């Protein structure tokens, strides 16, 4: 079985702790709050840190970051990137 959790994000950077099997499905603004939805295996006892960066259109960002998605929020357009980090298992 799988589950999906949602995580609200802060601008510009947030580190979230997600199940180790987790993967980001979607990035959108919900009620004006940048949010990601993460799918993972139910019963996954290990976690990992995921460092996420929200970049406004036209702003510079680190070229090593990996694109996740884009969200519209009224007049704003946010682009979400994941920072490659060494994966550590958190108990």
**What is the model's pLDDT at position 85?**
72
Contact 3, 40 (CB under 8 A): yes
What number is the average pLDDT over the span 12-23? 94
Residue 90 has pLDDT above 90, yes or no: no
Residue 86 has pLDDT above 70, yes or no: no
> Distance (Å, rounded) from C-alpha 62 to C-alpha 75?
24
Band (pLDDT 50/70/90 cuts) for residue 12 is very high
Name the residue with higher pLDDT: 90 or 5.
Answer: 5
Residue-wise pLDDT for 26-83, tens only, equals: 999 999 999 999 999 998 888 999 999 999 999 999 999 999 999 999 999 999 999 9
């Amino acid at each position: 079985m799988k589950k999906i959790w949602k995580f609200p994000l802060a601008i510009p950077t947030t580190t979230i702790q997600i199940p180790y099997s987790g993967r980001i499905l979607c990035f959108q603004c919900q009620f004006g709050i940048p949010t990601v939805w993460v799918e993972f295996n139910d019963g996954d006892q290990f976690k990992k840190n995921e460092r996420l960066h929200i970049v406004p259109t036209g702003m510079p960002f680190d070229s090593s970051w990996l694109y996740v998605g884009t969200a519209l929020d009224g007049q704003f357009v946010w682009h979400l990137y994941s920072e490659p980090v060494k994966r550590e298992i958190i108990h």
